[in-house]
């Protein structure tokens, strides 16, 4: 299964992996004690960002009640903040309320439709909900913004969304663009490895997998692709080695089930 992997940062927020398995890490320049300005007066922006930080931290931990409480407080402090609205939209994605997520994405975009990270994140949301044409427009808009600091990640999201939509040729072009911007873009390397495998170009698939191994730990999906690639190349020792690593590292994964169900096909 392909995964949308990158949701670029909320002002304070770095999303690092995605589609069905998105997790987040959070950093904030504000502590609770700093929610006042230098002269001791209340600073609503700092207070909102503090609450946003807490809300995202709790969301990462799966504590949705505390997350919602702090995000509501952030909205009270600074309802016109695109970053707060974006955080609330992300919360509603996590709790599977897409209508509410859409509402807050639209509010954020009305405030600033030139925020590359917001456009990228909204594009991912649209793709998850099978609104493919709309998602591509968001990715294109994000890429067009000169201040976009994660162009490679946005290209990668656009590519992965095209895979989901069945547009493999366009996906290949977009993965290549992602790699032009960042040759170490791990999931673009894996995406290209899979495309090359599906086209029967197994040596090219292996080459991309070799590059992937240099920049990322193996996932169940990459192990499974490596097993099949090495088998097609007739390298049974490598096939068995990858299979053993998959079983030892991810014993409960769908990929190990796939391998065991078809083992005779790959170890000949």
Q: Could you report the per-residue pLDDT of 26-71, keeping only the tens digit for each? A: 333 333 444 454 544 568 899 999 999 999 999 999 999 999 999 9
Q: What is the pLDDT of residue 151?
A: 96
Which portions of the chain are predicted below pLDDT 70? 1-42
Interatomic CA distance for residues 102 and 83, integer angstroms: 15
Residue extents of the structural domains in the chain: 1-182, 186-268
Please give the full DSSP string across 102-120, using - where no structure is assigned: HHHHHHHHHH-TT-HHHHH
Q: Note whether 27 and 12 are within 8 A (CB).
A: yes
Q: What is the pLDDT of residue 33?
A: 42
CB atoms within 10 A of CB 135: 26
Q: What is the pLDDT of residue 227?
A: 98
Q: What is the pLDDT of residue 30?
A: 38
186-268 belongs to which CATH class?
mainly alpha
Interatomic CA distance for residues 230 and 78, integer angstroms: 55
Q: What is the pLDDT of residue 43?
A: 86
Query: What's the pTM value of the predicted model, to 2 decimals?
Result: 0.83
Task: Specify the CATH number of the domain 1-182.
Answer: 1.25.40.10
Q: What is the pLDDT of residue 6?
A: 53
Secondary structure letter of residue 229 according to DSSP: H
């Amino acid at each position: 299964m392909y995964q949308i992997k990158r949701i670029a940062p909320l002002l304070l927020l770095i999303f690092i992996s995605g589609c069905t398995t998105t997790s987040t890490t959070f950093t904030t320049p504000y502590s609770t004690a700093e929610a006042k300005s230098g002269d001791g007066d209340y600073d609503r922006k700092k207070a909102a960002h503090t609450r946003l930080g807490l809300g995202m931290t709790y969301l990462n931990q799966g504590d949705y009640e505390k997350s919602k409480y702090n995000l509501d407080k952030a909205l009270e402090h600074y309802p016109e903040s695109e970053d707060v609205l974006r955080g609330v939209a992300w919360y509603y994605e996590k709790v599977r309320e897409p209508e509410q997520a859409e509402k807050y994405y639209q509010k954020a975009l009305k405030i600033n439709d030139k925020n590359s990270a917001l456009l990228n994140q909204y594009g991912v949301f649209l793709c998850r909900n099978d609104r493919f044409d709309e998602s591509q427009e968001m990715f294109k808009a994000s890429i067009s913004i000169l201040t976009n600091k994660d162009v490679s990640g946005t290209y990668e999201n656009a590519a992965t969304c095209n895979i989901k939509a069945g547009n493999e040729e366009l996906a290949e072009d977009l993965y290549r663009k992602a790699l032009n911007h960042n040759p170490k873009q791990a999931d673009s390397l894996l995406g290209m490895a899979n495309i090359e495998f599906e086209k029967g170009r197994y040596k090219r698939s292996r080459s991309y997998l070799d590059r992937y191994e240099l920049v990322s730990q193996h996932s169940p999906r990459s192990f499974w692709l490596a097993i099949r690639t090495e088998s097609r190349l007739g390298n049974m020792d490598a096939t068995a080695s990858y299979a053993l690593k998959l079983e030892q590292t991810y014993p409960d994964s769908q990929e190990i089930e796939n391998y065991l169900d078809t083992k005779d096909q790959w170890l000949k």
